[in-house]
Amino acid sequence: MAPAPGLRMFVCPNSLDIPDWPLARISACEVDVFSVSTHFSLSDIGQLRTLLTDDELSRADRFRFDEHRNQYTIARGWLRLLLSGYTGRDATQLRFAYASNGKPELVSDTGEASIDFNVAHSEELIVLAFARHRRLGIDIERIRQDVAYDDLAQRYFSAAEYACLRELAPTRRANAFFACWTRKEAYVKALGYGLALPLPSFDVFLDANVPYHIMRPSFEPGVQWHIQNLEVASGYAAALALEEANSTPTTAAEVFSIS
Ligand SMILES: CC(C)(COP(=O)(O)OP(=O)(O)OC[C@H]1O[C@@H](n2cnc3c(N)ncnc32)[C@H](O)[C@@H]1OP(=O)(O)O)[C@@H](O)C(=O)NCCC(=O)NCCS
């Protein structure tokens, strides 16, 4: 499969015992994807907590289980560290705004070049994606064989995607289900709607040898998307949806009116 042009993949260390995070450079034609495992020492998690705002700490502390609290803390802490690297701003000073369906965006106080990002987590892995001036979404799911994926696909995939899944040998269907699911979720996250956008209303399920473009319907005429699965770790499916450079997005209202 052809990778998204400019895709760079990184694995973050499992320790914060690193020198100052270098100022990262990312051009308009690059997209960076980082994976982070949640295996951090309690002392490193404590250090990451010091980067979080009071609101973020309250959110972390509302999680009932340690694993969810730690997952959120590590994801938000690393998001702040990486954004600090891209912007040169102090990680603790970064502010986020939230769109109506909850998508976080970086607030720019100084008019510096904007950086778009998206985050996903599943069990022991977190993925973070960054680009400039391009909408993007990322998703990751642990591949489980014990889910009723045929029922889920019938309910949430488009008719064309479901038909493709049914054509596969039964032994390949679980992996294919999660590959397709993450591509669909990455796309709705890139648009910012999340699952408020009906998943059966568009197709991403295509031949694995070609880059995935949204085939039906074209919610935004003139806007091209590159949607592809990412190999992040064994046992996980992940996908990135990236708006192609120089696309001209239409407004949110138009997205919903064409369904
Ligand atoms: C966004 C959404 C698809 C995430 O699904 P998920 O599998 O639970 O979570 P993921 O691990 O993939 O992603 C979570 C991250 O996505 C980001 N995110 C949150 N809302 C988002 C949105 N609408 N679009 C894109 N990204 C979003 C956040 O960074 C979040 O990380 P955080 O919780 O650490 O802050 C889901 O929560 C959703 O659909 N939310 C919107 C629902 C909504 O607004 N409903 C209203 C009426 S139906």
Is residue 52 included in any domain, yes or no? yes
Is residue 160 included in any domain, yes or no? yes
107 and 180, same domain (yes or no): no
85 and 127, same domain (yes or no): yes
Residue 252 confidence class, pLDDT cut points 50, 70, 90: very low
Beta-carbon contacts of 161 under 8 Å, excluding residues fewer than 6 positions away, are 153, 180, 203, 204, 205
Name which of 162, 253, 174 is nearest 199 in CA terms.
162
Domain range for 11 is 7-138
pLDDT tens-digit profile of 127-178? 999 999 899 999 999 999 888 999 999 999 999 899 989 988 888 899 999 9
The span from the CA of 86 to the CA of 40, in Å, is 23
Least confident of 2-11, 21-30, 187-196: 21-30
**Residue that terminates a domain, selected from 97, 121, 138:** 138
Q: Which of the listed residues 195, 199, 243, 256 should we mutate to test ligand 1's pocket, taking the one with most ligand atoms within 8 A of CB? A: 195
Q: How many domains does the chain have?
A: 2
Does 192 sit in the ligand 1 pocket, CB within 6 Å? yes
Q: How many angstroms is it from 189 CA to the middle of ligand 1? A: 7
Residue 48 confidence class, pLDDT cut points 50, 70, 90: very high
30 and 126, same domain (yes or no): yes
**Residue that terminates a domain, selected from 138, 155, 170:** 138
68 and 180, same domain (yes or no): no
**Residue that terminates a domain, selected from 93, 116, 138:** 138
The span from the CA of 194 to the CA of 184, in Å, is 10
Q: How many angstroms is it from 170 CA to the middle of ligand 1? A: 30
Is residue 2 included in any domain, yes or no? no
- Counts for the chain of helices (H) and strands (E), in that order: 7, 9
Is residue 84 included in any domain, yes or no? yes
Residue 183 confidence class, pLDDT cut points 50, 70, 90: very high
Does 184 sit in the ligand 1 pocket, CB within 6 Å? no
Whichever domain contains 83, its CATH number is: 3.90.470.20
Would the pTM of this model clear 0.85, i.e. be above it? Answer: yes
Is residue 1 included in any domain, yes or no? no
124 and 201, same domain (yes or no): no
Is residue 48 included in any domain, yes or no? yes
Name which of 246, 236, 237, 185 is nearest 208 in CA terms.
237
Any bridge partners for residue 139, and if so which? 239
Does 104 sit in the ligand 1 pocket, CB within 6 Å? yes
> In this model, does residue 50 exceed pLDDT 90?
yes
Is residue 77 included in any domain, yes or no? yes
Tell me if 178 sits within 8 A of 135, measured CB to CB.
no
The span from the CA of 199 to the CA of 159, in Å, is 11
